[in-house]
Amino acid sequence: MTTTLTDHAIPLFPLGTVLFPDGLLPLRIFEVRYLDMIKKCHRAGTPFGVVSLIQGTEVMRAGMPAPERFHAIGTRAVITHFAQPQPGLYEIFTRGSTRFRVTASSQTPHGLWMADVEDIPADPPCAVPPDLTYVAAALVRVLDALTASEFTPSDTPKHFDDAGWVANRWCELLPLQPDDKQRLMEMRDPLLRLELVGDVLDRSSFEG
């Protein structure tokens, strides 16, 4: 069944990961259904939506029993770096921006998902409370150790005094199940998200 979407529909990229606001996500694009989409987004300077898979795989294969199923809440991805090392292959770097909720979706004949979405408000500014400053301090140490990595640019803005930003970066780093990351990303209260991250750190030996 095909759903009629509005002219404001955005393309979706279902992935086996969760993109958080301000998160960094490198991608290698080689599927036909995404090559044209990424090229158009890059040329127009428009984002696409990243949604986490519930069913299916990132790469569409012949004979798949059913189309992908994905969570209704995702994050817009803005292309910050674009390269084409060879024909039929794009290498891009993206940054998460705003969260959204899918209100209607439809798949094109060549497999690309399009969706009408409504924005979810950004986390309100929220200072890291005194009893959780150790969570921010630990993140400083971990990110300092990762700045030499090509996947963690040193010029990335850092907001160690903001509870939501600190929680989001830990959610990306911790070895959490995808469903747990999805639930944390969907939470509207950044302080509660940070408290839950602190609980995970207290129970783990994660050191980066």
Strand partners, 113: 12, 107
User: pTM of the prediction?
Assistant: 0.89
Mean pLDDT of 39-52: 97
Q: Decide: 49 and 77 in contact? Cβ < 8 Å.
A: yes
> What is the share, in percent, of the chain residues with pLDDT greater than 70?
88
Mean pLDDT of 31-60: 91
CB atoms within 10 A of CB 138: 17
- pLDDT score for 45: 96
Determine the 3-state secondary structure of 130 from DSSP: helix
Mean pLDDT of 87-115: 95
Residue 180 tokens, joined: 């747990």
What is the C-alpha to C-alpha distance for residues 170 and 49, in angstroms, rounded to an integer?
22
Terminal Cα distance for the chain, rounded:
46
Determine the 3-state secondary structure of 173 from DSSP: helix
What is the C-alpha to C-alpha distance for residues 6 and 135, in angstroms, rounded to an integer?
43
What is the C-alpha to C-alpha distance for residues 21 and 171, in angstroms, rounded to an integer?
11
